[in-house]
């Protein structure tokens, strides 16, 4: 008996799994950051040390991108996401259990290793998810799917502050992190049973659904040879997309990792109210990801993929950067929440365009190519975490937000030179 009813096309069940992985990955990675106010006094950590824990995750996450993309292209999305889930469970459990066995410097080292392992575990995730989109969905749904993928991860970000606040109030901060591992385990088991790399490999996919997918369902990922990788790395559009993604992710990491602490320290929210308020920018980001994908697909259909994918980031990112400056000037705490929400919305509205443009450029090499793109994106995170940690440790939130504005402006400007119509020449 099939696990799911056939009334819904199999491709949407497969895609739903990738959304669930994205959502839970953000709950895992943000759990420690959103519990920082409790973890710091409990473990005698400074705010700068919290910044280094975030840096440990971001650094290994970035370093795992290209190897993760190569692994996915070699072994397929099914096993890649299974490995992602298994390693993520170990890392999520390790952080709350480490204080039971160590203290002081040894404990901080163990916490760094736990966050580093979490980064490694999630490195291949979005390469695999994007490979699923390229294989399972038609081209005119790529931006929509990429946008919804971003919405899935931001939904995880939206629920995390309130989720960990509620769990920690009942079970303590360690119990909250332990509970987070359970849904990850259940999802991983279900995916290992049901997931497949391509529609043709899935026994429940009917011939009429294969016909709907057209030639895209027949395209097979090539072995990730050194020659193909070097050609990908020399492609002009891939490099420009990667540089732009680095810059936009600086703004993304600033908003995602540091908004809650800004609202607590500078706007004086606290407790459960802070958990509710911190969810609002993430909700805006999720809506932005979903809306942006549909808009980009519509524009690409109407005016062609070159300008169809360019327009949203060209318009949205400069405005997002300016709104970071507006946040510093508004008088009321709730107005600051509003400006952060719109800024996050405008950053995430571009995700569908980045995903679709990279799939157009790389096609069946998308797993490795997305590893390159996300390496650049997470270099932006590596720059963000210690710099913002250093600036905010001395209360310089204005300086931190100004840097976000500069990176957002550069990210948008680079789209003037990106041509998604030109496919990378790797054969």
Q: Look at residues 147, 102, 122, 16 and name the one whose alpha carbon lies nearest to residue 59.
A: 122
List % helix, strand, coil for the chain (3-state, nearest 5): 85, 0, 15
Q: Angle, nearest 10°, between helix axes 366-393 and 125-136?
A: 140
* pTM to 2 decimal places: 0.78
Tell me how far apart the alpha carbons of residues 1 and 194 are, in angstroms, rounded to a whole number: 12
Task: Give pLDDT, residue 278.
Answer: 76
Q: Could you please report the per-residue DSSP string of 278-338?
A: HHHHHHHHHHHHHHHHHHHHHHHHHH-HHHHHHHHHHHHHHHHHHHHHHHHH-SSHHHHHH
Task: Give pLDDT, residue 405.
Answer: 96
Task: Give pLDDT, residue 219.
Answer: 53
3-class secondary-structure state, position 56: helix
Tell me how far apart the alpha carbons of residues 361 and 326 are, in angstroms, rounded to a whole number: 36
Please count the residues of the chain: 427
Q: How many CA atoms lie within 13 Å of 391's alpha carbon, on the beta-carbon side?
A: 18
Tell me how far apart the alpha carbons of residues 191 and 193 are, in angstroms, rounded to a whole number: 5
* pLDDT tens over the chain, length 427 residues: 344 444 568 888 999 999 999 999 989 888 887 787 788 888 887 777 887 888 888 888 888 988 998 898 888 889 999 999 999 999 999 888 988 887 788 888 999 999 999 999 998 998 899 889 888 888 888 889 888 988 888 888 778 877 888 888 888 888 888 998 999 999 999 999 998 888 888 888 888 877 777 655 445 556 667 777 788 888 899 999 999 999 999 999 899 878 878 888 888 777 667 767 777 888 888 899 889 999 999 999 999 999 999 999 999 999 999 999 999 999 898 899 999 999 999 999 999 999 999 999 987 788 888 888 988 887 888 888 788 888 888 888 999 999 999 999 999 999 999 999 888 776 6
* Residue 424 contacts residue 242 (beta carbons within 8 Å): no
pLDDT digit string, tens, across residues 237-260: 999 999 999 999 999 989 987 887
- CB-based burial label for 64 (10 Å; 0-12, 13-18, 19+): buried
Structure tokens at 175: 């119990």
Structure tokens at 385: 């975490």
pLDDT digit string, tens, across residues 76-88: 889 999 999 999 9
CATH class for the domain made up of 10-213+223-417: mainly alpha
Residue 422 — left, alpha, or beta (φ > 0 → left; ψ -120 to 50 → alpha)?
beta
Task: Give pLDDT, residue 340.
Answer: 93
3-class secondary-structure state, position 144: helix
Instruction: Give Cα 264 to chain centroid, integer Å.
Output: 24
- CB-based burial label for 106 (10 Å; 0-12, 13-18, 19+): exposed
Q: Look at residues 110, 106, 25 and name the one whose alpha carbon lies nearest to residue 61.
A: 25
Task: Give pLDDT, residue 185.
Answer: 94
Please give the C-alpha separations between residue 365 and each of 13, 232, 397, in angstroms, as whole numbers: 23, 8, 41
* Residue 173 contacts residue 298 (beta carbons within 8 Å): no
Tell me how far apart the alpha carbons of residues 70 and 82 are, in angstroms, rounded to a whole number: 16
- Domain positions in the chain are 10-213+223-417
Residue 100 has a CB neighbour count (10 Å cut-off) of 8
Task: Give pLDDT, residue 222.
Answer: 61
Tell me how far apart the alpha carbons of residues 336 and 328 are, in angstroms, rounded to a whole number: 7
Q: Look at residues 73, 81, 91, 74 and name the one whose alpha carbon lies nearest to residue 32.
A: 91
Task: Give pLDDT, residue 199.
Answer: 86
């Amino acid at each position: 008996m099939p696990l799911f009813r056939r009334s819904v096309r199999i491709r949407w069940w497969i895609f739903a799994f990738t959304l669930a992985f994205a959502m839970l990955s953000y709950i895992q990675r943000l759990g420690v950051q959103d519990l920082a106010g409790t973890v710091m006094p409990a473990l005698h950590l400074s705010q700068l040390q919290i910044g280094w824990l975030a840096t440990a995750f971001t650094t290994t996450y970035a370093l795992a991108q290209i190897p993760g993309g190569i692994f996915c292209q070699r072994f397929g999305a099914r096993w890649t996401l299974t490995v992602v889930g298994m390693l993520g469970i170990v890392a999520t459990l390790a952080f709350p259990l480490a204080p039971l066995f160590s203290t002081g410097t040894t404990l901080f080292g163990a916490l760094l290793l736990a966050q580093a392992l979490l980064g490694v575990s999630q490195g291949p995730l979005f390469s695999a998810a994007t490979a699923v989109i390229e294989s399972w969905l038609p081209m005119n749904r790529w931006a929509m799917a990429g946008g919804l993928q971003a919405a899935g991860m931001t939904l995880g970000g939206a629920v995390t502050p309130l989720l960990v606040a509620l769990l920690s109030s009942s079970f303590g901060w360690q119990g909250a992190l332990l509970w987070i591992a359970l849904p990850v385990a259940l999802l991983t088991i279900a995916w290992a049973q049901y997931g497949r790399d391509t529609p043709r490999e899935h026994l429940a996919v009917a011939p009429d659904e294969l016909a709907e997918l057209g030639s895209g369902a027949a395209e097979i990922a090539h072995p990730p040879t050194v020659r193909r990788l070097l050609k990908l790395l020399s492609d002009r559009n891939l490099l420009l997309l990667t540089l732009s993604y680095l810059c936009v992710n600086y703004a993304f990491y600033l908003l995602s990792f540091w908004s809650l602490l800004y609202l607590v320290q500078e706007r004086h929210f606290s407790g459960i109210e802070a958990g509710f308020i911190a969810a609002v920018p993430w909700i805006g980001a999720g809506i932005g990801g979903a809306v942006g994908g549909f808009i980009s697909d519509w524009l690409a259909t109407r005016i062609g993929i070159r300008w169809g994918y360019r327009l949203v980031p060209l318009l949205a990112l400069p405005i997002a950067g300016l709104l970071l400056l507006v946040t510093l000037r508004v008088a009321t705490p709730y107005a600051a929440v509003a400006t952060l929400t719109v800024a996050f919305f405008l950053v995430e509205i571009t995700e569908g365009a980045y995903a679709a443009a990279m799939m157009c450029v790389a096609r069946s090499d998308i797993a490795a190519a997305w590893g390159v793109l996300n390496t650049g994106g997470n270099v932006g995170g590596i720059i963000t975490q210690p710099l913002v940690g250093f600036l905010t440790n001395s209360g310089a939130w204005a300086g931190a937000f100004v840097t976000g504005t500069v990176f957002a402006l550069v990210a948008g400007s680079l789209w003037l030179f990106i041509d998604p119509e030109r496919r990378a020449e790797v054969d």
